[in-house]
Structure 1
């Protein structure tokens, strides 16, 4: 239930947010307009409302900046881990090829399959059944790779075999790290707090318009759209598997293409 907002369609989220903004601002405007009729206190309330509105919008801007920073930092972390994993796999492949022999050649081949599986891991999206299958295949492949590297280390413990062991450790660790960063999201209470504070701010703006006796539909519309787009951006960045903005998987794709080219040249 906590993630119901995060898992809704973005256009539906936008529609709901704008409707609530309009509703809350209208209520605030009507209350402000009613208070304006009390002429004895109208001027004092107008000054107070102006100060409060400015403070609320400043705090809202701060909250938006914090939330966007949280979402963006997680997004950047996901991007960097893709590159780190591709580099670690590439290094392991080169070391396995340098060792050669039955085990080294087989490790290089298995790592190529492992790279394809890493792409499948991301392409699975939110499909839990497909993800479970990928996890199981990954564990099987990791065990096969580890069996071969163990055989190399036991039969011929050399500096390069130790380096291969180290780089494969890094490959598997990065696989776990990528799984973790794709599962971890912004805490739901942060999004809830942001939405509640946005509504309170719109109500305050509406009240200020009412107490001043002037409604600004263009300004209100621009404020609604800008604020809604920023909230949608935060939500979308926090959807690494299903959002419109996803971390690029190009480094892994390039690695597979390079291996294909190398294989074709060898023939």
Structure 2
């Protein structure tokens, strides 16, 4: 099932569960008020304040963490584009006979990196892509080191080797970042706490004459939407919030690698 559909079902399920919780809270209060009208609300304010405060803290924590990881992934995309572009330009320092195969490897490597993240690292083909990525990194490194040894100039090694290291390091960092999410137990706790707060809210809003549908649906809808957005921020390649626009620096870099003038491969 599509992740966007799953997240919508989750938000919809939470919305309905919260409405049910508020209805349950209302009926609990009605039952207590029939037994003892004077004490039906005594002593509940402190507990309600503490639980709602905890809910607010948990919502802020999960949303802020998801938004921070989303922004970090955007920055990493730019960092990777810059590192690959820098390494590409420094290939000009290597002997001319070493450059053509290295540039072909670079193009394939960049295509692979773009494809991996566009399809998602959870895709079944991602494992094979990561294996191929490691092979390309190994081939780029070995051919570059052979070119450095052939050239023999110290400044070539000083400039080329760190650029390749940075290119490989940011690839590892981006791959690892896709696996960093808020623990599932916290997300489950958030949903459970939202339902508990719904029960308390239903009890607090209860009146014998009827239900306050505006407040009930408003509270459930806003909290459900907040959870939906938080989930999408945690998985920005799969839901409604997408990182596709942030990939533009990589696409622009790939376009520039097609041009001989942009790559240093000038025709004679």
Q: Structures share a fold, TM > 0.5?
A: yes
Alpha-carbon contact 1:85-1:174 (below 8 Å) kept = yes
The equivalent of 1:3 in structure 2 is none
- Distance (whole Å) between structure 2 residues aligned to residue 107 and residue 210 of structure 1: 72
Counterparts of 1:101-140 in structure 2 under 5 Å?
Answer: 101-125=96-120, 128-140=123-135
* CA–CA distance in structure 2, aligned partners of residues 264 and 88 of structure 1: 16
CA distance in 2, matches of 1:252, 1:214: 58
TM-score (norm: length of structure 1) = 0.88
Note the C-alpha offset of 1:203: 0.6
Q: What number of residue pairs does the alignment pair up?
A: 261
Contact 2:87 2:160 in 1 (8 A): yes
Could you say which residue in structure 2 is the equivalent of 1:250? Answer: 248
- Alignment partners' CA distance in 2, 1:145 and 1:264: 20
Partner residue in 1 for 2:18: 21
CA distance in 2: counterparts of 1:214 and 1:39, whole angstroms: 20
Distance in 1 between residues matched to 2:82 and 2:115, nearest whole Å = 18
Cα distance between partner residues in 1 of 2:234 and 2:73: 11
**Large movers: runs of 4+ above 4 Å:** 211-214, 262-267
- Partners of 2:136 and 2:191 lie apart in 1 by 44
Equivalent runs, 1:30-179 vs 2, <5 Å: 30-39=27-36, 41-42=38-39, 45-46=40-41, 48-125=43-120, 128-155=123-150, 156-179=152-175
CA separation of 1:18 and 1:237: change in aligned 2, threshold 3 A: same
Deviation at 1:214, TM superposition (A): 5.8
- Which residues of structure 2 form unaligned runs of 5+? none
User: Using the alignment, how far apart are the partners of 2:102 and 2:91 within structure 1?
Assistant: 6
Quote the offset at 1:126 in angstroms.
5.2
TM-score w.r.t. length of structure 2: 0.88
Which whole-Å deviations, capped at 9, do the CAs of 1:161-199 have from their partners, x for residues lacking one?
Answer: 321111101111111111111122211011011011111
Structure 1: give runs of 5+ residues left out of the alignment: 1-5
Match of residue 179, structure 2, among 176, 183, 191: 183
1:126–1:135: structure 2 CA closer, same or farther, 3 Å change rule?
closer
1:101 match: secondary structure: coil
Per the alignment, residue 190 of structure 2 pairs with 194
What is the deviation of 1:74?
Answer: 1.3
Which residue is equivalent to 1:222? 218
Q: Secondary structure at the match of 1:66?
A: helix
